[in-house]
Structure 1
Amino acid sequence: MPDTIMLQVTRYRPESEGAPTVQEYEVPLREEWAVLDGLNYVKDHLDGTLSFRWSCRMGICGSCGMTVNGDPALSCGTFLTDHAPGPVRVEPLANFPVIRDLVVEIDDFLLKLPEVKPWLVRDDDGVDGVEFLQTPEQLDAYKQYSMCINCMLCYSACPVYGIEPDFLGPAAIALAQRYNLDSRDQGAHQRLDVLATDAGVWACTYVGECTRACPKGVDPAGAIQRYKLTAAARTLLPWGKR
């Protein structure tokens, strides 16, 4: 195995450049190094002007999402040796405006997220000293969907979001399902008007790329299809509104 590997990194400053360019950097190829380590090597030793996001380096914060050799991935969990001998192409996440280099703007997601009320909705808010206990089975009903880290990989992989900017998107719908399935929540009926729309679950064509890209096994595609059944039962069938 060679001692180095080539990173082909997208560079772009929209305020001063008409189009992105690609710059090559040769970095050490070490068994324990992820793509993020290679980018940090570039930043520290080769080119301090390179811009990218990262924080925890442990696949928890979700901030280091990038496109690596064509696939959306967490750069902290994508190892250089898996792409040896290279080159490794590193680009910003697709379907998002680029702020600079590998940094994308996610304001659209942040504005849409509150629409699905991703928090516990209770009719009895303000009751002091009340515990809402759950069984292990009740926890299991929504636990998978609670693993979302808002990394935006599913939005980058989603072809619908790429052409339909009004689409709520996989992560927002999966997070809505997390609370719809929570035994302590009483807000499912409030989310129905948002989720059961052309911009909600009905926009999804079930390509499934969001689930494939998810680093946490959330299965947003499954969450969307599951909610389609719920929405149909509540809006089309005569007993659905009971």
Structure 2
Amino acid sequence: MQANLKVKRFDPADEGGKTWWQEYKVDVHPDSTVLDSLIHIREQEDGTLALRCACRASICGSCGMKVNGDAKLVCKTRVDDIAPNGEQLVIEPMGNQHVVRDLVVSLDTFFSQIKRVDPFLQPNHVPEQGEYIASNDSMENLLTSMNCIMCGCCVSDCTVLEVDANFIGPAALAKAWRFTEDPRDSKRDERLKVLNDEAGGMWDCTRCMKCVEVCPKGVAPMDRIMELRESAIEAGNTNTPGYHHTESFYNSVKKNGRLDETRLAMDSAGWTNIPRLLDLVPIGIAAMRKGKLPPLIPHKSKDHKKVKDLYENVEGESS
């Protein structure tokens, strides 16, 4: 079969570091992967094409790239699965990371995010003999997060990192969860407090689910971030805009059957936090000019009692 690839190129040696698109058509075996096609191009047609790969078995995480807009490990992405009729494949370097050349990105940003969460065990004592061994039962819930191969696909497609470079990122937060839940670690409360209070921490995730969609190993970073939030709340870390936001959202829908957007903004900022409240004024003025300002007194849904009953049923089941 023929693979039609449109590859985004970048050469830092060119004046201004320009980017351009280059198209290739190569004959490949029906079982070939996108990586097989790229290697064929590099080895047989265009030796200037730069890409990174190693194991070719979705173990090392080296070959993360964007294929048709989504981050993937190209060593496990078969051409026939995504382009069975010879459709063009658009190949780009991963997002939210500095491009070194062509499809190769620097992972400095990725690993600096990982370092921010202290990704190592901090036990409170040293065993008298041998290792500090945890039981199988206590480690079973960590298996998902331990499958992470540090490929960076989740960071590549994170929509928060596109607009906020200070966000710790889904990979680092999933790694942080792995250590907060490890029974051998003695810094659980300290970790949760830092991630709860820190700018760019657990509350900056917008739950877009992109990291869940693109993770090649099923780590589901967003789910791990939600569990971090639950653990932080259970540990008493409730004086933050993130917690106030979730509490206001929950109570608003329970009371009115719909979201009170005005109160949500005020509760999230904090009623006594004057600087944060003043930051909302320009947003409110802009919304008013566009006719988008929510009502000061919220309207209740006609089925708000049914919504409240649903809340109470769920709360009763979980209590």
Using structure 2 for the length normalisation, give the TM-score. Answer: 0.70
Instruction: State whether residues 115 and 194 of structure 1, in contact with CA within 8 Å, keep that contact through their aligned partners in structure 2.
Output: no
Provide the aligned length of Structure 1 versus Structure 2.
234
Describe how 1:76-87 pairs up with structure 2 within 5 A: 76-82=75-81, 83-84=83-84, 85-87=86-88
Equivalent position amino acid for 1:6 in 2: N
| Distance (Å, rounded) in 1 between the aligned partners of 2:138 and 2:179 | 12
Match of 1:118 in 2: 119
Match of 1:138 in 2: 138
| Distance (Å, rounded) in 1 between the aligned partners of 2:213 and 2:136 | 27
Equivalent position amino acid for 1:165 in 2: A
Match of 2:2 in 1: 4
Deviation for aligned residue 1:218: 0.4
Does residue 157 (structure 1) correspond to residue 153 (structure 2)? The answer is no
For residue 236 of structure 1, the aligned residue among 214, 233, 238 is 238
Q: Any idea what the Cα deviations from partners look like across 1:151-201, whole Å, max 9, x if unmatched?
A: 111011110011110000001010111111111121223322431133110
Match of 1:40 in 2: 39
Equivalent position amino acid for 1:59 in 2: S
Deviation for aligned residue 1:17: 4.7
Deviation for aligned residue 1:86: 2.0
Tell me which protein shows more helix as a share of its residues: 2
Deviation for aligned residue 1:120: 1.3
Equivalent position amino acid for 2:153 in 1: L
Equivalent position amino acid for 2:238 in 1: L
Deviation for aligned residue 1:15: 3.8
Instruction: State whether residues 33 and 80 of structure 1, in contact with CA within 8 Å, keep that contact through their aligned partners in structure 2.
Output: yes
| Distance (Å, rounded) in 1 between the aligned partners of 2:106 and 2:47 | 21
Q: Answer with 114-123 or 189-198: which moved more.
A: 189-198
What percent of counterpart residues are identical? Answer: 37
Q: 1:30 to 1:213 in 2, by over 3 A?
A: same
Match of 2:11 in 1: 13
Instruction: State whether residues 202 and 228 of structure 1, in contact with CA within 8 Å, keep that contact through their aligned partners in structure 2.
Output: yes
Deviation for aligned residue 1:128: 4.7
Q: Answer with 63-72 or 224-233: which moved more.
A: 224-233
Q: Any idea what the Cα deviations from partners look like across 1:188-228, whole Å, max 9, x if unmatched?
A: 23322431133110110111110111000001000001111
| Distance (Å, rounded) in 2 between the aligned partners of 1:131 and 1:56 | 31
Describe how 1:33-112 pairs up with structure 2 within 5 A: 33-82=32-81, 83-84=83-84, 85-112=86-113
| Distance (Å, rounded) in 2 between the aligned partners of 1:189 and 1:116 | 13
- The structure with the larger Rg is 2
Instruction: State whether residues 7 and 25 of structure 1, in contact with CA within 8 Å, keep that contact through their aligned partners in structure 2.
Output: yes
Using structure 1 for the length normalisation, give the TM-score. Answer: 0.91
| Distance (Å, rounded) in 1 between the aligned partners of 2:9 and 2:128 | 53
Partner of 2:14, secondary structure, is coil
Partner of 1:159, secondary structure, is coil
Which protein has greater RCO, CA pairs closer than 8 Å, 6+ apart? 1
Match of 2:228 in 1: 227
| Distance (Å, rounded) in 2 between the aligned partners of 1:5 and 1:182 | 45
Partner of 1:218, secondary structure, is coil
| Distance (Å, rounded) in 1 between the aligned partners of 2:21 and 2:100 | 16
Instruction: State whether residues 192 and 228 of structure 2, in contact with CA within 8 Å, keep that contact through their aligned partners in structure 1.
Output: no
Deviation for aligned residue 1:38: 0.3
Q: Which runs of 5+ in 2 are unaligned?
A: 240-319
| Distance (Å, rounded) in 1 between the aligned partners of 2:124 and 2:136 | 24
Q: Any idea what the Cα deviations from partners look like across 1:78-112, whole Å, max 9, x if unmatched?
A: 11112131211111011112110001112112122
Match of 2:299 in 1: none
Q: 1:70 to 1:121 in 2, by over 3 A?
A: same
Partner of 1:194, secondary structure, is helix
